[in-house]
Amino acid sequence: MGTVVLIHNQLSQTIWIFFLLLGIWGLYRAIRGYSVDGSYLGAMVIGQVLYVVQGVLGGILWLNGNMAVVARPFMHVLYGSFALVFLPFVFMVWLKGDDSNRGQWVLAFTILFLFGIALRAASTV
């Protein structure tokens, strides 16, 4: 289990760095007046996959009883669950596939918000 804990911890660092860079890139694109393109959507999918892998690893740790080392396990799970559903919700329900410059602004701020969620989830350990 030590390996899973190590991967879970290191992946959390990767996620917040990735989402910070993706958010900055999104803001740059929005400021320049660009719309959402395939490159940005692909990077968002990669970020979402990172969150899914992190959730699977967290689920494995939870099932094996390793949540006892987390100070507030309920909040940790809540942040992780929220991070899994927020980006698809914003894209499919709020934007409804809008790929205009407005969509780029919304996605950039959504990604930066998920950056903050990743930092907050990591700090609940």
pLDDT digits (tens), the chain, 125 positions: 889 989 999 999 999 999 999 999 999 999 999 999 999 999 999 999 999 999 999 999 999 988 777 888 889 899 999 999 999 999 999 999 899 999 999 999 999 999 999 999 888 87
Question: In angstroms, rounded to a whole number, what is the distance separating the alpha carbons of residues 59 and 63?
Answer: 6
What pLDDT is recorded for position 79?
93
What pLDDT is recorded for position 2?
85
Q: What is the H or E stretch that residue 72 is in?
A: none
Nearest Cα neighbor of 125 from 58, 56, 52 is 58
Residues 6+ apart with CB under 8 A from 62: 73, 77
What pLDDT is recorded for position 26?
98
Number of CB atoms found within 10 A of residue 110's CB: 21
